Structure 1
């Protein structure tokens, strides 16, 4: 896409919006920016780095779109926004940052791994990047995980050093405005209820995810997730992963060797799950997905396994943060939907005798009923916090697990400490967004960590 001289309106001024404004200005476009918030988070940086670019705050107005021939939308701006809808109806091109990246990349001859899914995508993206680097590839990890992909591309341009491989985490919001991404290997890890405040149904949400498979690259699909598996396209090469035994030589899964699970491809056992620093069987699935993606590009196996052995995971994603009196404490504050919490419960339950689950927050309109079976099987007790605590309590009624409610994270941690027995684990995995009580999931996780430290360090009587 030749952007020189084009009149572009950037909607949204967070990290992604700012990166698009900088990229478009660098390419010679005439740029304007608009954000519905009165104090957009990156306004000061826009004024500093692009002082000639006008910025409007407040509701989007139709006159902002006058004479515009390209609209660049941030992921947080839905295409159902009336002004965006009218732009689409007027045949004005609407793109996002991944599309701008995809249109710029062919001249750079780099390969792409693209990762999406409701849960696990940041872990798989980071792990695939670590594996590729261990295999000697000059690799850039970017996208929804951060940094914004255009920021990373501009940094590479400025350094005069093109990446040999891009490993991108892409969200459903980003994929809505992406048509040209042709990843060499791509995956939809799973599709469970999330963002139903933005999508009409889970099927609409799944269709947005499936856009990651544009082009003719290798599809990496999850055998344990029917919606992922159903995305196989005729004539496309596929590789599958799952927590069962692989059925074909090219597929990935678990084999039992010496009474314990091993990561495997086909009939070849590669690495005992216990050798991983990542906790839980759901992370075994993440590891299999990362291996499948990297091997799809022909990267050598042994460096990938070496990287996997050393990979410790990401903060706030089933992160072991402390252990005392025989009780382990895990921070899974990034578990902001039901599917993520179910995966954490199932994954950890096979390693620990019982779990005390701390959950609750802003449920985003989710159906909490899938929690019931996992709680009944794995939990000793539940401690509920936040706005939708009563909805969660109603959804898991009859699971046979005591439920307590807490008004704060400190109280929740204290109640969990009382309930846990030696050999148990306490898991913060809220199944909800954090904004009813905290700034974001990171803030929630840090408050949890501090509360756990106080409990662990408290004098024992």
Structure 2
């Protein structure tokens, strides 16, 4: 597939996404120029292995130099890596120069979307060629008559069929389809049956794309949605921010001749920033809390970037528990909101077999048919889906709830994970996946590493690793999720990235027994939580923090390491922080005579 043949492309940034775009561009015939502000970016060695004579330019991004024509060939596209801050002075100047020269600027997601369209067109072309070759073989349509399928296709019907229509006689005709089925009308005619081969129409590759974004829970919902789709019997691939890169996975599946029916993409605000013409079958914004504001500039800009996940035909899966997310309700449905609430069901103008343009999920009881939520049954919380009990009734009693499974049957812990499960069910069901096999998949899902992951139980206290909780919103979700059933001793601290820690206050007051503070911004967190009345202790290492937690917790409590901060002030990354926590817990268990093993 050489749809970029001969084009000169400039790739900005050589991280994971930049290298992936470079691989795809070269695969499709493009000549590439790559720029990065770093002298030796991590992907440089792989790039030179791919294209030994590649033009790589390091240092400040000089628009005149980077956009200059090479050997008479002008730059036709600029491919911007998602982590490259568009507000940076040299980046902004380069993008402005590209705009003035009518050079298209796009990112990884748009290139992936274009690639799917190109694969579709290529397959249509190949299928059409195969049909023409098949059509060149003569077929006997009636005694003494020889023609080709191409003739039939050109005319739209057989001559015999045409004559019957002309005479007003629509019967006595048998059409044999490729799978051996027949279409027949009854008549007393004595003509011999007419056999007309009807070749399949070219369809091309048209996968369903599900897209997932949000401040927290993206990876869990992406992985879980892919599992549910697979359990429902469809081939599926997960890619994007979850890894691997979208274009790398697409190339891999093309080479294996194994393109999936469904793509589930995890997308960050960086990947969505400035995106146009993305139109997945279903998409969700799970939640919106402060994150990456140094990059986006404001909460409004951050939310707007997330909003690019929705296209004109996308079923929007929205979180009822997040007011900012619900602002993305489709405008056509905003005017109907009151009548929908009264009706508790589907819009009368909407066909029963058509997925609604909006489905919501939340931790409350759903009141609109098709929505997901939690309802109490006999004192036990259940995941449920609302259904119209009687579509002829217009009152508030016209909704029934289909019980899906008990919340306690989930292997992933916490109410925030119940919300994630509901989001995944809503996404997968919106593209036609059957519920029953998905529920089996939901029961077996164990969660992702470092996301409220149970590590061990020591002396009746369960220890949870939530090292991926690198922002306040993630820790708020973890505290709210585990605090429903337990008192919590929490480990907080690290590189706070200038965040506002005040959203932690009500959760700490309500659910936390003791907070153990670590890292550079421990004093900032202590000041933010000063009025909660919760005891706060300081630790100089993860091992000391775990030991302090063990002294403070009582049987039935949980210890949660959810720092609400980045890890780089004390650790290489959040995974190394998690390893330190797990090893400290296992050492604690061994000291108590509970041999748990440890990380290698």
Give TM-score scaled by structure 1 length: 0.97
Alignment correspondent of 1:254 = 374
* Conserved 8 A contact 1:218-1:239: yes
Indicate yes or no: 2:280 matched with 1:183.
yes
**Alpha-carbon separation, structure 1, partners of 2:570 and 2:11:** 31
Larger Rg: 2
Is 1:439 aligned to residue 439 of structure 2?
no
Instruction: Select 1:210's aligned residue among 300, 307, 311.
Output: 307
Instruction: Report if aligned partners of 2:61, 2:91 keep a CA contact under 8 Å in 1.
Output: no
1:388 aligns with 2:521: yes
Comparing 33-42 with 319-328, greater Cα deviation is found at 33-42
- Once residues 56 and 177 of structure 1 are traced to their aligned partners in structure 2, the CA distance between those partners, rounded to angstroms, is 25
Select the structure with the greater relative contact order (CA < 8 A; seq sep ≥ 6). Answer: 1
* Distance verdict in 2 for CA 1:158–1:177, change over 3 Å: farther
- Deviations 1:131-189 (Å, cap 9, x if unpaired)? 00101111010000100000000001111121100000001100014212210000001
- Runs of 4+ in structure 1 deviating by more than 4 angstroms, as ranges, are none
1:54 corresponds in structure 2 to 55
The 5 A counterparts of 1:134-283 are 134-235=231-332, 237-266=357-386, 267-283=401-417
Deviations for 1:336-357, whole angstroms, at most 9, x for unmatched residues? 11111011001001122x1111
* RMSD over equivalenced CA pairs, Å: 1.5
The Cα shift of 1:73 comes to 1.6
Cα shift readout 1:301-353 (whole Å, capped 9, x = no counterpart): 0111110000000000000011110011000011111111011001001122x
The CA deviation at 1:71 is 1.5
CA contact (8 A) 2:60 2:90 kept: no
Q: For 2:92 and 2:5, how far apart are their aligned partners in 1?
A: 25
Mapping 1:47-446, distance limit 5 Å: 47-62=48-63, 63-67=65-69, 68-90=75-97, 91=99, 92-106=103-117, 107=120, 108-235=205-332, 237-266=357-386, 267-352=401-486, 354-446=487-579
Corresponding residue pairs, total: 460
- Residue 78 and residue 341 in structure 1: after superposition, are their counterparts in 2 closer, same or farther (change >3 A)? same
1:24 match: 25
- SS in structure 1 at match of 2:332: coil
User: What CA deviation, in whole Å up to 9, does each residue of 1:183-240 have, x standing for no partner?
Assistant: 0000001100001111221111000000000231100000000111010122361000
SS of structure 2 residue aligned to 1:123: helix
Mapped partners of 2:509, 2:517: distance in 1? 15
Q: 1:235 to 1:104 in 2, by over 3 A?
A: farther
- Assess, with a 3 A threshold, how the Cα gap between structure 1 residues 86 and 69 changes in structure 2: closer, same or farther: farther
- Alpha-carbon spacing, 1:272–1:459, altered in 2? closer, same or farther (3 Å): closer
Between 400-409 and 307-316, the greater mean CA deviation after superposition:
400-409
User: Aligned partners of 1:206, 1:457: CA distance in 2, in Å?
Assistant: 46
Shift of 1:256: 0.4
> Residue 252 of structure 1 contacts residue 265 of structure 1 at CA under 8 Å; is this kept in 2?
yes
